[in-house]
Amino acid sequence: MTPPRVLTVAGSDSGGGAGIQADLKTMLALGVHGMSVITAVTAQNSLGVQGAWELPVEAVRAQYRSVVDDIGVQAVKTGMLASAELVETVAELIGGTDAPAVVDPVGVSKHGDSLLAASALDSVRTKLLPVATVATPNLDEVAQLTGVRVQSEDDLRRAAAAVLAYGPRWALIKGGHLPGEAVDLLTDGSEEHWLRAPRYDNRHTHGTGCTLASAIASQLAKGQSVPEAVAAAKEYVTGAIAAGFALGGGIGPVAHGWAFTGGTPGA
Ligand SMILES: Nc1ncnc2c1ncn2[C@@H]1O[C@H](COP(=O)(O)OP(=O)(O)OP(=O)(O)O)[C@@H](O)[C@H]1O
Ligand SMILES: Cc1ncc(CO)c(N)n1
């Protein structure tokens, strides 16, 4: 049987922990066929981002058309889009595709390196968020995009309302950067789903956001509803964080294959 097909539109992380590499590993682990449109190439490792180069708009468009016109997609995920021009191009492409879109509005890496030009923020708000089925900002991205500064769980509702005002069907506000339990809020403005998991203080959390968004897209492609897909994706990313491992001298990656290795840290 042909597996469901999922497309990631994102940047390459040479260190293999985030970006396209995290997305494809997640898709393999969750049993879907992963495909990629590369928007930018980063020189990146456990210590930070040493360099980043965008691809030309024609290269992004051509990759997208090659995949969608022949193979077809059951879900799309977007990550690092680097510039206003690429954000607008990708928004137009996914707006014209009949598949759910999970938009991870990637702004900065875990090390604080910028992965999106400041001049692109307005295009994210007005072009990309309106075509999202689910938008998955972290707290820094919420602050950049909406001005809402989340300091407690109560603020997550306010953040979600501010994100929903830009037009995505659902907002998943990731409270991963708050102290205490790892709490996220999923809402479409009427239903609310609180997702809670224990916090693992192993610091090997490079690529958590990419992994979560790709897992949501994978579950949507299998036909799950948004709340079901997000709940399953949260379980997957939590297992991957629990089994995260040291690599290089800085922040190590989550373990995408944890379900195959029994969830043993670093196995
Ligand atoms: N230490 C942790 N323990 C358990 N869950 C965590 C931890 N850190 C983050 N999470 C969870 O991981 C998911 C991703 O959230 P996070 O806020 O880390 O994304 P992100 O900052 O976009 O990640 P990145 O930019 O590295 O890809 C959320 O479900 C969040 O609650
Ligand atoms: C290429 C890439 N995309 C996304 C992230 C998320 O932080 C990263 N570090 N690198």
The string of DSSP codes covering 2-58 is: PPPEEEEEEEEETTSSSHHHHHHHHHHHTT-EEEEEEEEEEEEETTEEEEEEEPPHH
Q: What are the backbone dihedrals phi and psi of residue 200, each rounded to the nearest 5 degrees, phi first?
A: -105, 125
3-state SS assignment for residue 53? strand
Active site residues: 174, 205, 207-210
- 140, two tokens: 């820094």
Average pLDDT over residues 216-225: 98
Kindly indicate the confidence band of residue 267, based on its pLDDT and cuts at 50, 70 and 90: low
The pLDDT mean for the chain works out to 95
Average pLDDT over residues 43-67: 97
Taking CA atoms only, the protein residue closest to ligand 2 atom 3 is 19
> Is pLDDT of 263 > 80?
no
pTM of the model: 0.98
Give me the pLDDT at residue 215, please. Answer: 98
**Rounded-to-integer distance, Cα 206 and Cα 15, Å:** 10
The verdict on the CB of residue 11 being under 6 Å from ligand 2 is yes
| Residues in contact with ligand 1 (CB, 6 Å cut-off) | 18, 110, 138, 174-177, 182, 184, 197, 199-200, 205-210, 212, 234, 237-238, 241
- Which residue, among 262, 261, 254, 267, has the nearest Cα to 16 in the 3D structure? 254
Q: Tell me: the pLDDT tens digits for 172-193?
A: 999 988 889 999 999 999 999 9
Q: Which residue has the tokens 């029994």?
A: 262
Pocket test for ligand 1, best of 208, 211, 230, 241 (most atoms within 8 A of CB): 208
Beta bridge partners of 108: 114
**Rounded-to-integer distance, Cα 179 and Cα 90, Å:** 34
